[in-house]
Amino acid sequence: MDFSAYKAFIAVAENGTFSKAADLLYITQPAVSKRIALLEEQLGSKLFDRIGKRVMLNEAGRALLPIAERIMQDIRESQRVIDNLSGQVSGHLSLVTSHHIGLRRLPDILKQYAEEFPQVRLDLAFTDSENACSKIEKGSYELGVVTLPLSKSKRLKLTPLWSDPLTIAVALDHPLVKIANNQAITLNQLAKHSAILPAIGTYTRTVIEKPIVQKHGALDVILETNYLETICMMVTIGLGWSALPRTMLDKTLVEIKVKGLNIERTLGIVQHAERSLSNAGKAFIKALKK
């Protein structure tokens, strides 16, 4: 069996087009089409319905997808077990992280790791923390460094690394600066002004919104984006308030204290609870814990 065909099948299923799958796999679109055709021939069944430029899993494809994901997980697990026998820190390490952590927390760690273990080939991907955890569960990546989930999954092992306090921040000329006048404001005063927050369902949005909504009610959220750097820029130009990591505050922002509001999230390592780690993965966790 050509396992590259399964890899192509999963990529097309997740991305909905052959072109996106080809970009992800660093091969040509005809090569992806050839691999899918080979798999369909071997199985004796079509796996996708073609609708315009997009493709969708048909009944056979939906049945195959979890099996294909397990096959690829087992292949990666087998490779890790064999690689670990040598005791060397080498081979391939697939790592997924959020944009904020990747930009603010990991650069020095990645630099030192690459210098200490030049034989490790790093495969680094950026995505939302929620998607990263899903990818780890499916075995697409060995490790994630993300905002940790608020509820535990039996399939994930979570290792806290950093507490990340959040604070309400506004632009220098925002009305809340005058209202606060260096004093703590109430939740009602805060909620009267428009907010800029991560999307509903994200761990960070839940951490921010839950204590406020419980005591006040729905917020006026005028803009949603999962990029904290974008939120910070929007706050800086005065479009609304947001809750940002204290590490992001600079001279262009003002911290607004709110009575009874203390919010923070936990950043850390996510790995599959039932999968072994490669020597490269173990070494990276050790570097993170330093």
The enclosing H or E element of 190 equals helix 187-191
Domain boundaries, the chain: 1-85, 163-265
**Predicted confidence pLDDT, tens digits, the chain (290 residues):** 568 899 899 999 988 999 989 988 889 999 999 999 999 999 999 999 988 778 899 999 999 999 998 888 888 778 777 776 767 788 889 999 999 999 999 999 999 999 999 999 999 999 999 999 998 998 889 999 999 998 888 899 999 999 999 999 999 999 999 999 989 999 889 999 999 999 998 999 999 988 888 777 788 999 999 999 999 999 999 999 999 999 999 999 999 999 989 999 999 999 999 888 899 999 999 999 98
Partners of 266 in the β-ladder: 163
Closest CA to 197 of 238, 241, 165: 241
- With beta carbons less than 8 A apart as the criterion, state whether 132 and 146 touch: yes
pLDDT the model gives residue 1: 55
pLDDT the model gives residue 52: 77
CATH of the domain spanning 1-85: 1.10.10.10
Partners of 221 in the β-ladder: 195
pLDDT the model gives residue 93: 92
pLDDT the model gives residue 2: 66
Q: How far apart are CA 10 and CA 187, in angstroms?
A: 46
- What are the φ/ψ torsions at residue 249 (nearest 5 degrees)? -70, 140
Partners of 120 in the β-ladder: 91
CATH topology of domain 163-265: D-Maltodextrin-Binding Protein; domain 2 (3.40.190)
pLDDT the model gives residue 274: 87
Provide the token pair at 69.
């994901």
